[in-house]
Amino acid sequence: MKTPTLIVGTILIGTSFACGAQNPQRERPAEMVYYANAYADFYHVPREIVYAVITHESGWNATAISNKGARGLMQLMPATAAHYRAADPFNISENIGAGVHYLADLIAQLGDWRLAIAGYYCGPTYPLERGLAYANRDVVEYVNAIQRIYTRELSTPPKPEVLPAAPPSEPIQQDTQEVIP
């Protein structure tokens, strides 16, 4: 049996969502969509990719915890959350901000969104070394699952943007310090 690679765009039968997130069509609370859009725009990551990752990783469940210890909407591992300064991985803004920042860094480092998604799943080492010839079955299935959700997101007409009922508690945090003259 031939091992699938990332360049093969096969559609796999059945997808398991992390953390028991079996309903990819779960209602998306306005606050989550607000932060997903804001951080996607800020870090120049397509919104649909962010939606696809959140849908697959947690099913839009902000309190999701995987059996490996990943937490929150974008299922950040503790070391990744700490690296991207998400002190509370269940905080919607911190989790999405850190996850999208990580995705943006992976896209910049790996140069291809498929490799970035593979890197999001398993870390950047092997996708960086092997490129699109990376053939770990779990990683290929993960990338294909994200691609299917991404394609569905692109074909779904956007809903009118609704701001959260109350203003967001924290603005987007930037990496630069404000200079006061």
Q: Which residues are catalytic?
A: 57
Give the amino acid at 72.
G
**How far does CA 119 lie from the centroid of its chain?**
11
Task: Give phi and psi for 118, each to the nearest 5.
Answer: -60, -45
Q: What angle do CA 78, 94, 152 make, to 5 degrees?
A: 95
The whole-angstrom separation of Cα 103 and Cα 97 is 10
Helix (H, G, I), strand (E, B) or coil at 89: coil
